[in-house]
């Protein structure tokens, strides 16, 4: 499976978000361009800015690989810009 994943912008597959929306997000959050690797500190900062915080802390979240039939389904959004 390695090397076969679709490109994403954050957690969103590129085919599901328009270029104008990506530009708007980057304009409002220019630090996104400087993030080169995973950062636990940055993840916590973005979580605290999200519309689902702090309620998300009360939920159990199951992270797993999705099957192809699930990839087109709508799921829980963790971050809302």
pLDDT per residue as tens digits for the range 23-32: 898 888 888 7
Tell me the pLDDT tens digit for each residue of 13-26. Answer: 777 888 888 889 88
Q: How many CB atoms lie within 10 A of CB 52?
A: 14
| C-alpha neighbours within 13 Å on the C-beta side of residue 80 | 8
* 77 token code pair: 């959004």
Question: How big, in percent rounded to 5, are the helix, strand and coil portions of the chain?
Answer: 45, 5, 50
pTM for this structure? 0.36
Dihedral angle sign, alpha carbons of residues 62, 28, 45, 32: positive
């Amino acid at each position: 499976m390695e090397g076969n994943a679709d490109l994403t912008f954050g957690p969103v597959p590129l085919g599901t978000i328009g270029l104008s929306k990506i530009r708007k997000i980057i304009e409002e959050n220019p630090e996104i361009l400087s993030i080169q690797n995973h950062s636990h500190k940055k993840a916590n900062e973005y979580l605290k800015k999200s519309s689902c915080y702090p309620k998300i802390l009360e939920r159990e979240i199951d992270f797993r690989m999705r099957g192809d039939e699930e990839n087109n389904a709508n799921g829980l959004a963790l971050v809302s810009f």
